[in-house]
Amino acid sequence: MQTKFTIDFSKEEHYDLFVSAGTEGFLRKLAPWDGTFATKGWVLDDNKLQPELHKSTATWRGEEDIKEYDYGRDGSFKSLRIKDHDKPMEKRDPDDELTQGTIDIMTSTLAMLQNIDDGNECAGTSEIFDGKRRFELIFNHEGYNDLTPSRYNAYEGPSTKCTVEVKPVAGNWHKKPRGWLSIQEQGRERGTMPTVWVGKIGEDGLAIPVKALVKTAYGALFMHLVQYENGEGIQIAQKRD
């Protein structure tokens, strides 16, 4: 899998996030998936992050689904629009118990990164609505590790180790875990929850994910930072064979 993550604070009191991802190689033959995720929001008092708009686009075996979420500056949830691959965009009216007080998953992740950037541990819980369900996204601090560069990983230096957990709260959850929840539980059974290592490149660099591990029934999936650009320079790992 290849993922590109962009963080933009160039607009005063605002932030923009963009992630593009897709499976590659052998995994793509089994699971041909691509996705883009974009969030724009406000930076409020005390550096609190509040999303204004979140849009997710996912393509599975050629079928594209789009979801757009609108939020108020006061933290309220405003609206949800969904486009299934063969249908026009339509507005949905989910129950308040699923939506009010929630944020998007990218804002939650950025808040965790900022927490580490401020010298704190990786810890925090956010309420997320994904279009059908409400869940807690929980970051747990697991200590610190010094990472060394390799032909896979561009990062060298201290890192914060953090596990990620999704905890169902409300909505249409299946009795048997599916999707990400299934992958998470496979890792739990094997003694390792989905894990991300966060590090800083340069004194003024943001804290960013530099390595990730997900254990499943089919094996372990590692993701490594291979390129980092901050507008002043680029750091690239050695080319893989």
**What is the total count of domains within the chain?**
1
pLDDT (0 to 100) of residue 236: 67
pLDDT band at 241 (very low <50, low <70, confident <90, very high): very low
- Domain for residue 28, yes or no? yes
44-84 pLDDT, tens digit each:
998 899 999 999 999 988 889 999 999 999 999 999 999 98
Say what the pLDDT of residue 237 is. Answer: 59
The separation between CA 188 and the C-alpha centre of its own chain, rounded to angstroms, equals 19
Spatial separation of the C-alpha atoms in residues 23 and 25, rounded to whole Å: 7
- 30 residue type, one letter: L
Which residues are bridge partners to 233 per DSSP? none
- On the question of pLDDT at 125 being above 50, the answer is yes
Cβ burial, residue 61 (10 Å; 0-12/13-18/19+): exposed
Residue-wise DSSP of the chain: -EEEEEEE--STTEEEEEEEEE--HHHHHH--EEEEEEEEEEE-GGG-EEEEEEEEEEEETTEEEEEEEEE-TTS-EEEEEEE-TTS--EEE---HHHHTT-B-HHHHHHHHHHHHHTT--S-EEEEEE-SSEEEEEEEEEEEEEEE---SS----EEEEEEEEEEEEEEES--SS--HHHHHHHHHHHTT---EEEEEESSTTPPEEEEEEEEEETTEEEEEE--EEE-SS-EEEPPPP-
161 lies in some domain: yes
The most confident of 63-67, 230-234, 235-239, by mean pLDDT: 63-67
Distances (CA, A) of 59 to 1, 36, 117, 177: 14, 9, 33, 21
In this structure, is residue 241 part of a structural domain?
A: no
Instruction: Give the model's pLDDT for residue 238.
Output: 53
Q: The domain containing residue 159 runs over which residues?
A: 2-236
